[in-house]
DNA sequence: CACTCTCTGTGGATGCCATCGACCTGAGCC
DNA sequence: GGCTCAGGTCGATGGCATCCACAGAGAGTG
């Protein structure tokens, strides 16, 4: 991970569909060299993949909620994780410090679907309680913060 | 947004670097047709961009925190938003229902940097109080949920 | 029904890009 | 010095992006 790798990471966080030729121009290397570097970033786990950033409301996921989960004392955290993992509505799952062991970001189409999700969560073994707050609007999300040196 | 558009969106959410030729094979259209459709999805705002998914700890952002913000009564929400927007550490910003008007997801390198961020937030005009919880680990994040029909 | 307009598709042509292999170069080390 | 290796360049080639001309389906209209 030298400065050029950081530049490549920055460029790809900004636009994952840049061609190797374009990346090469930006960082001042040849296309094969960039190809090699990006391949290594991928196989070493620095770059985990490439995702289209899609407006959720345009694919019928207009309701965003954050759900904190308090575990039962003695609950098996790994089992709970597996129960959470199979729920597709849960986009993100953080294991937190504090009373609420998990913080989930869920995305559904309607409030009714959110209700169903919460019911399911409360029925999940190991869940003592849930606390849901609704996001009225998403001001921004997953904004990449620049890490590399400035790239001309 | 017909079924083919949804398939394209799904495919690109899974791998944003798929070639138009490959997308075309997957959905059963010609490459120019797919090119046209994706272009329209982009210009209509359904697809907002393409991002490399980078392991944050590998670029020196190993600390994730969620920060709730309570506004002063009478605070100007738009002004606050602008103050938040210039802080690069804030990756996501939701306007919430509830006591805490904003919920921020912040990513920093060290606990010391988190402390500085919190201090800055508490000094920001309009902020009555903040409540920070640290994510001990990220189980998953921004997992795309399939929306289109199954794609062979 | 027939005409036409529009939308969305296909197929072909062309130039750029991804990718492979051969080779070069400088650093570290015996 | 001479070996070795990591990581670069260059050149070739086949595939892809992209442009263009044109075809066919459907909606609206006389």
Enumerate the residues of chain B whose CB falls inside 8 A of the CB of residue A136: 94-97
What confidence score (pLDDT) does residue A69 get?
98
Pair of tokens at residue A103: 């913080």
How does pLDDT run across A118-133, given as a tens digit for each residue?
Answer: 999 999 999 999 999 9
- With CA atoms as reference, the chain B residue closest to A98 would be B133
Q: Smallest CA–C1' separation from A18: which nucleotide?
A: C17
With a CB-CB cutoff of 8 Å, which residues 53-72 of chain B face chain A? Answer: 53-55, 58-61, 64, 66
Q: Do A135 and B103 touch (CB under 8 A)?
A: yes
C-alpha–C-alpha distance, residues B4 and A77, integer Å: 40
A115: pLDDT strictly greater than 70: yes
Residue that has been written with the tokens 């390198």 in this structure: B109
Q: Decide if A3-43 and A56-135 have a common fold.
A: no
Query: What is the topology classification, in CATH, of domain A3-43?
Result: Arc Repressor Mutant, subunit A (1.10.10)
How does pLDDT run across B19-61, given as a tens digit for each residue?
Answer: 999 999 999 999 999 999 999 999 999 999 999 999 999 999 9
State whether residue B88 sits within 8 Å of chain A by CB.
Answer: yes
Cα-based torsion angle of the residue sequence B12, B14, B20, B26 in order, rounded to the nearest 10 degrees: -110
Report how far Cα B124 is from the mean position of its chain's Cα atoms. Answer: 23
How does pLDDT run across A69-110, given as a tens digit for each residue?
Answer: 999 999 999 999 999 999 999 999 999 999 999 999 999 999
Best CA proximity match to B139, nearest among A145, A93, A77, A60:
A93
Q: Do B54 and A89 touch (CB under 8 A)?
A: no
Average pLDDT, chain A: 95
Q: Do A14 and B51 touch (CB under 8 A)?
A: yes
What confidence score (pLDDT) does residue A148 get?
64
Q: Reduce the secondary structure of A115-139 to three states and give it as a string.
A: HHHHHHHHHCCCEEEEEEEEEEEEE
Give the residues of chain B that fall short of pLDDT 70: 148-152
Confidence of residue A151 (pLDDT cuts 50, 70, 90): very low
Report domain B56-135's class: alpha beta
Residue that has been written with the tokens 């094979």 in this structure: B25
Whole-angstrom distance between the N-terminal and C-terminal Cα of chain A? 19
B88-92: list long-range contacts, CB under 8 Å, 24+ apart. Answer: B88/A145, B88/A146, B89/A145, B89/B113, B89/B117, B90/A143, B91/A141, B91/A142, B91/A143, B91/A144, B91/A145, B92/A138, B92/A140, B92/A141, B92/A142, B92/A143
CB neighbour burial string for A9-23, b if at least 16 within 10 angstroms, e if fewer? bbbbbeebbbebeeb
Confidence of residue A146 (pLDDT cuts 50, 70, 90): confident
**What are the residue ranges spanned by the domains of chain A?**
3-43, 56-135
Note the residue count of chain A.
Answer: 152
C-alpha–C-alpha distance, residues A144 and A125, integer Å: 36
What confidence score (pLDDT) does residue A149 get?
60
């Amino acid at each position: 991970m030298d400065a050029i790798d950081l530049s490549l990471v920055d460029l790809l966080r900004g636009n994952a569909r840049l061609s190797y030729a374009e990346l090469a121009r930006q960082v001042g290397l040849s296309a094969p060299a960039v190809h090699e570097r990006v391949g290594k970033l991928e196989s070493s786990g620095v770059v985990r993949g490439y995702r289209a950033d899609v407006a959720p409301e345009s694919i019928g996921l207009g309701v965003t909620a954050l759900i904190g989960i308090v575990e039962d004392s003695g609950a098996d955290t790994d089992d709970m994780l597996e129960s959470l993992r199979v729920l597709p509505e849960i986009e993100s799952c953080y294991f937190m410090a504090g009373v609420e062991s998990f913080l989930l970001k869920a995305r559904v189409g309607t409030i009714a679907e959110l209700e169903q999700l919460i019911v399911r969560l409360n029925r999940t073994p190991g869940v003592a309680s849930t606390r849901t707050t609704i996001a009225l609007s998403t001001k921004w999300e997953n904004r990449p913060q620049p890490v590399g040196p400035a790239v001309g």
